[in-house]
Structure 1
Amino acid sequence: MKPFVRVTRGPVDESWHAGAIAVANAEGEIVAHYGDLDFFTFARSSCKPIQAIPVVESGALETFGLDDSHLALMCASHSSEPMHVEKASQILQSIGLGPEHLVCGVHVPHSRDAYEEMVRRGEALSAIHNNCSGKHAGMLAYCRATGADPSTYAEPNHPLQQAILRTLSEISGVPTEDIRIGVDGCGVPVHAMPLRAWARAFASFIGDRSTHAAAMQRILAAMGRHPELVGGSRDRFDTDLMRATNGRIVAKGGAEGFLALMDTASGMAMVVKILDGNARAIPPVTLKALNDLGAISEAERDALKPYVEPAVLNTQGREVGRIIAEFSLSER
């Protein structure tokens, strides 16, 4: 069996990762793929730009004086750096709520530097430091703008969650009853459907074929202009991909080895799923696919060189292997 991604240690292929890719044009048609297009999967946090659509359409940004930097954070899985915590706090302050109203729970920040600085200051962790706090603050802003109950915003039958489900159904072409719903790591509903449907959904962000086009264009612009708010200041692949392409490619990673991206210049969307959920394979797979599609320049690829064949390091910081993507896309 030919590997999709192989992980080397010295001269030996120590591990393999299987995966699938779907590429769609602006009309939502699959134009290239690898693996099983019907693999049924959650997009996890890659769905955040879609979850933000009803928030934008509610008028919450205008109602509470929020700008595109706050919108970018609503689409983020951030590293809990001071800039992220500040933006999330601004959203909550503008709507008259506090961290205690976030139901996303508490975890240690992804940024080790940010966490160590908190420890030095003696600052306690709260839900505002959760990587999903921007999304949850945005959901609360929707509630304040529409009069929906903010205490139940994470429940599947809440008006916001129903609006998200309807929107996802519209842009993916999958009936609501065929979209399966689970609970995400942060406590809100998370949706599963075939990989080809995810590609179609993200392709709807490009062009104007959707009734949600205005909101989606604003979301793309916000993420592209503020990539560091979507991820973090360093070592975040989706952020670095957006930086390297100056926001032409808008990308959002998700847990369990999922990534979605939209190329606003070529009118193409791509979703990647690593079947065993190991996100270490996402960067080399994504960059190889973009290179094969002619969707990334040599200069952009050079700017992302550490991600092309990421090094496997031991505890001495010594390179002992590589993560290498090896596959060929099939055209449809």
Structure 2
Amino acid sequence: MTDPVTMTELWRGELLESLHRGHAVICDETGQVVQAWGDPGAVIYPRSSCKMIQALPLITSGAAAKWQLGPEQLALACASHNGAAIHTDRVRAWAEMLGLGEADFRCGPQDPDDRDAHEALIRAHEQPCQIHNNCSGKHAGFLTLSQHMGAGPEYIEIDHPVQQAVRAAFEEVTGETSPGYGIDGCSAPNFATTVEGLARAMAWFASAGGRSDRQSAAAVDLVDAMTRHPELVAGEGRACTELMRAMGGRVAIKTGAEAVFVAIIPEKKLGVAVKIVDGATRASECAIAAILSHLGVLDADHPAARTFLNPEIKSRRGIHAGEIRPAGGFPA
């Protein structure tokens, strides 16, 4: 086993105050490791970074075509959204199209991260519901697939046909047998894999345009949906949304809880996976931005890139106090 490497540093004045270590892998279209930092074999939960994998059966089963789902719904199926109106209105309409409602979801309620939506609930003396959950788009996809399969309502159970289809797709694209699963924040199973396996899966997505099988065609549709609608994948001010915009739709990226981040780069047929071992999102955002800049697909001088690559630390009065930046030597 290789120890994690230092990827991100926090400087306050002239002092290195904190640092974050992690693992990262870049794979090519053959599934081989092109470059790695730390331990490629480290076993992780990909968390929400793998939502595009979880959405594959939605398309390959024929469910998406049956319900005429478009890029907006597919982007939401891959999303960890802010719970803004542009997200919740679309998820609610999707459920209604299926003849379902909020009570059919199994993701649990969540206070929206979007400030306007949060304050609107307070003014209306209302509580957040499951539609506000950042994973409600993924769960709308699960519900669509379950209904198409004629399966039962408890679609988050590990032995449910929906989750068995997800596991089969997950193991196929990672090229690994998952050693097990944990329960994600939205109550659905999250299958474990290595950092290398996750990067291999992203490279499989990146190279899908050169293949003609049904699974690959589904991957192309999902990547297109994410890059066409970055605002639905996360939300205003979020790294996924802002960095995809900065790259002009050329790259799909997705964060996951506990500091996981992935990138799909079709023009280079490369996939990237990052895991920061202490779970700090500020570090995974910096690390993925550094790798994307290193690969030449993100302009380090773009304002959005600087926001996550070198975020400024300010006092509560707005005085410059320091910055977060890639560690020396990373990711060269």
Normalising by structure 2, we get a TM-score of: 0.93
Determine helix, strand or coil for the equivalent of 2:206: coil
Shift of 1:315: 2.7
> Aligned equivalents of 1:328 and 1:267: distance in 2?
25
Q: Deviations over 1:210-254 (max 9, x none)?
A: 65101100000011100000001x220011111111211101100
Where does residue 322 of structure 2 map in the other structure?
A: 321
The answer on 1:137 being equivalent to 2:140 is yes
Where does residue 76 of structure 1 map in the other structure?
A: 79
Determine helix, strand or coil for the equivalent of 2:241: helix
Counting matched residue pairs gives 326
> Aligned equivalents of 1:62 and 1:2: distance in 2?
44
- Change in Cα spacing, 1:193 to 1:276, as seen in structure 2 (3 Å) is same
Where does residue 123 of structure 1 map in the other structure?
A: 126
Where does residue 180 of structure 1 map in the other structure?
A: 180
Shift of 1:304: 2.2
Shift of 1:6: 1.2
> Aligned equivalents of 1:78 and 1:59: distance in 2?
25
Shift >6 Å, 4+ stretches:
none
The answer on 1:264 being equivalent to 2:259 is no
Range moving further from structure 2, 308-317 or 236-245: 308-317
> Aligned equivalents of 1:195 and 1:214: distance in 2?
24
Out of 67, 85, 100, the position equivalent to 2:88 is 85
1:33 touches 1:330 (CA, 8 Å); kept in 2? no
> Aligned equivalents of 1:330 and 1:279: distance in 2?
18
1:34 touches 1:328 (CA, 8 Å); kept in 2? no
2:261 touches 2:285 (CA, 8 Å); kept in 1? no
Matches within 5 A, 1:46-125: 46-125=49-128
Shift of 1:40: 0.9
Where does residue 156 of structure 1 map in the other structure?
A: 158
Where does residue 250 of structure 2 map in the other structure?
A: 248
1:195 maps to a residue whose letter is V
Determine helix, strand or coil for the equivalent of 1:294: coil
> Aligned equivalents of 2:309 and 2:88: distance in 1?
31
> Aligned equivalents of 1:63 and 1:267: distance in 2?
30
Where does residue 36 of structure 1 map in the other structure?
A: 39
Where does residue 194 of structure 1 map in the other structure?
A: 194
The answer on 1:19 being equivalent to 2:31 is no
> Aligned equivalents of 1:115 and 1:311: distance in 2?
26
Tell me, which stretches of 5 or more residues in structure 2 are unaligned?
none
Q: Deviations over 1:147-190 (max 9, x none)?
A: 111x2100000111011111111111112xx4321100110000
When the two chains are superposed, the root-mean-square deviation of aligned CA atoms in Å is 1.9
Determine helix, strand or coil for the equivalent of 1:116: helix
- Change in Cα spacing, 1:329 to 1:2, as seen in structure 2 (3 Å) is closer
> Aligned equivalents of 1:88 and 1:26: distance in 2?
34
Shift of 1:316: 2.7
Q: Deviations over 1:105-134 (max 9, x none)?
A: 112111122201222233331111110111
Q: Percent identity among equivalent residues?
A: 36
The answer on 1:290 being equivalent to 2:302 is no
Where does residue 305 of structure 2 map in the other structure?
A: 304
Shift of 1:66: 2.3
Tell me, which stretches of 5 or more residues in structure 1 are unaligned?
none
1:284 touches 1:308 (CA, 8 Å); kept in 2? yes
Where does residue 204 of structure 2 map in the other structure?
A: 204
Normalising by structure 1, we get a TM-score of: 0.93
The answer on 1:5 being equivalent to 2:8 is yes
2:216 maps to a residue whose letter is A
